[in-house]
A and B are shown apart, each in its own frame.
Chain A
């Protein structure tokens, strides 16, 4: 049985690296005695992966674990799992997904981030300026040294919640390209602070973006041949 589990990582757990988080989950499922599936081969490892790697130091209210079990598990099993997780890690929800849906991480198209700001009005002006541009060239370190990329297409939306003094960023993720929250903050002359939080990740459904727990998953509905249509995500 394959399950997507949504969880939050708060407080000091923000300092866990992607690898630390993976190791922590592997040990947690063993503590909970859940029947996790193992890969074959010389060095078997539990079949689990995350929707996306989180930068160290950033908290998340929308991490997702994509995990395979050898048997069906029940809601009570996941409640037990919460008991063996470290303080700061909270299970938020889960759903069963068809076995043949591609790995969750390959479906992610966008992530939503928010950070507390002090001067909402000033930031709002900068946001308006930034969004009015058609091209925002930034430097990125790649394998072959520095290169320039246009960040604009990957910034889907920036909004200010003035009352809450919050900046909300909807940024692209995935192999088509991505924008990192720290890059956007830097364009606004801000830097990531303690409050920077990933609030949701979103899967692409046609022109729309959908939460992994809400999206309708139907495998092989369109065409087996066209790779892009191997699966279809529907509302």
Chain B
């Protein structure tokens, strides 16, 4: 075999702008070079090293797989443009970091699908790695290609390029998959896939067929064989407290986006924000115990030497023993010279003084997410916080020495009017006044960041079509004008990026040729402004006979089959529709911890021993 490692290290590495991304021997990287291995997995993240290395899921899976002596997991990221050009020029394949092995020589290549704008990058990595693009073209010697993560809940636009997907928590599911692959190593691909398809949480798209009516209207996606389930159910780790968690995070040499330890305190969120996909696909709420977390935190610090640890969840203030946890961790970590941060605090939990406890040292900036400018619209999206909550929180922050706050909003939400947009400016003004009221010196720095709403599958807003580009631009100009307020800085997102995201998020199998064409046209790293080309994507849609804008704006009817109906998160379509109707009536829904709302999760969990907060659930 060609000595890829030697060539890469000697001939390619010295020519790169940031070689430390590609060294592969960071502290805690696992290099199983000389060991006999049964299954070799490449964990691929379709973005740059600095982004991928900040992702918790990758760290969990990497160490989980490497715990097993028969298996190895190696990392691979999208190369930066300088390396990409060299690989193409030298005809050198995309390789894993640890042992510099070409992607095509792994048994399994797993892609994390975190956001739709990474789809073209997935295809670029496959082709740079020497793997045939479509599952159909792959031969027995080629790796199986698997996808997981949030976008796997509607992977239909990508089905041509993947052999299978895993839906839900991978901590228990992935080892099951690898055991099957190890046991049946000698079987043909199709036989392997048939066995995998029997595992809860595994979706093999080739065994399902999208059906269309006489007018070409979509009728649904159905199983082609009785050997696979009609709907694929999500895998759920019932006991998160006892689930695997890595302590030995890889410590990068250069700085990455989130360069700190991450401690996941719980998974799931039942606040029920209607735009939020994570709130559906990670149900129910499952917590780790405070003592488990304290023990993990100390071990993690010892194993990595990191100077900061962040508590992670969808809404950390909702952790049932947050006060006790933060106090305990602060005590342990202060001794080690390690600081604690709590990035996902809802502002209604801020008033408890939590943030102050956590961010004792650096009072640089605080972020709040009211999401919408008026109470009416906040009720529509079920973001159950009031203007009063916000003002109490910012006053508290200003009184405690903070001078900068960042407020996150969305625009283009269902039922939104200009009044709601002006409400954003109104809130911003009140935040500036709040600073003066508490006797702040000079001017505060209030940043108002307004993103464009992208409807996502498996949410109450999945039926809703995104507003047009023209309308996005008009509303942005309304905001621009209204937010000319001293002390306020307005940040907004690029319309076209959000339109593409919307088009890909709720698309079906008809989009596969579009993505293939976009990749051919050079699309990649679309989340990066400097690489994004809207016109290339428009061209790709056009050549396939589709329209990008129409895909983004598609409004689904109540009884219309959705491309992801055969994939079951546990939350029923009926529940989501009910929430959508309540939204249109501006009616809020309480957190289900106040009383079961019959979302359907209890059904999915009926065979599990533990159901988290779902244990007392009633059924719809």
Contact = CB atoms under 8 A, between A and B. Distances in A.
Interface stretch (A39-47, A61-69, A156-164): A39-47
User: How many residues of A sit at the interface, in one of the four size bands?
Assistant: 20 to 34
Interface in A59-112: 84, 86-88
Interface string A3-21: 0000000001001110110
Interface string B1-30: 000000001100110000110010111000
A194 interface: yes
Nearest to B10: A194
Nearest to B301: A30
A30 B305 contact: yes
Interface stretch (B139-147, B186-194, B250-258, B451-459): B250-258
B253 A26 contact: no
Most buried by A among B23, B305, B362: B305
Given A12-B13, A15-B20, A20 B254 contact: yes
Given A15-B13, A27-B27, A43 B305 contact: no
Nearest to A25: B305
B558 interface: no
B27 A86 contact: yes
A27 B252 CA distance: 11
B304 interface: yes
Given A20-B253, A38-B337, A43-B362, A26 B20 contact: no
B14 A194 contact: yes
A28 B305 contact: yes
B323 interface: no
Nearest to B9: A12
Interface string B560-597: 00000000000000000000000000000000000000
Interface in B237-269: 251, 253-255
Given A15-B13, A30-B337, A194-B14, A24 B253 contact: yes
A55 interface: no
A232 to B, nearest CB: 35
Interface in A119-171: none
Contacts of B19: 12, 15
B608 interface: no
A44 B337 contact: yes
A204 interface: no
Contacts of A38: 337
A31 interface: yes
Contacts of A44: 337
B302 interface: yes
Interface residues of B, number: 26
B115 interface: no
B27 to A, nearest CB: 6
A84 B362 CA distance: 29
A31 B302 contact: yes
Contact of A30 (B13, B25, B254, B336): B336
B306 interface: yes
A29 B337 CA distance: 11
A189 interface: no
Given A16-B253, A20-B254, A46 B23 contact: no
A186 B23 CA distance: 29
Nearest to A20: B253
B361 interface: yes
27 contacts: A12-B9, A15-B19, A15-B253, A16-B20, A16-B253, A17-B20, A19-B255, A20-B254, A27-B305, A27-B307, A28-B305, A29-B305, A30-B305, A30-B306, A30-B307, A30-B336, A30-B338, A31-B304, A31-B305, A38-B337, A42-B361, A43-B362, A44-B337, A46-B337, A57-B14, A87-B25, A194-B10
List of 7 A-B pairs having minimum Cβ-Cβ separation, nearest first = A27-B305, A30-B305, A31-B305, A15-B19, A12-B23, A20-B253, A15-B20
Interface of B: 9-10, 13-14, 19-20, 23, 25-27, 251, 253-255, 301-307, 336-338, 361-362
Interface of A: 12, 15-17, 19-20, 23-24, 26-31, 33, 36, 38, 42-44, 46, 57, 84, 86-88, 194
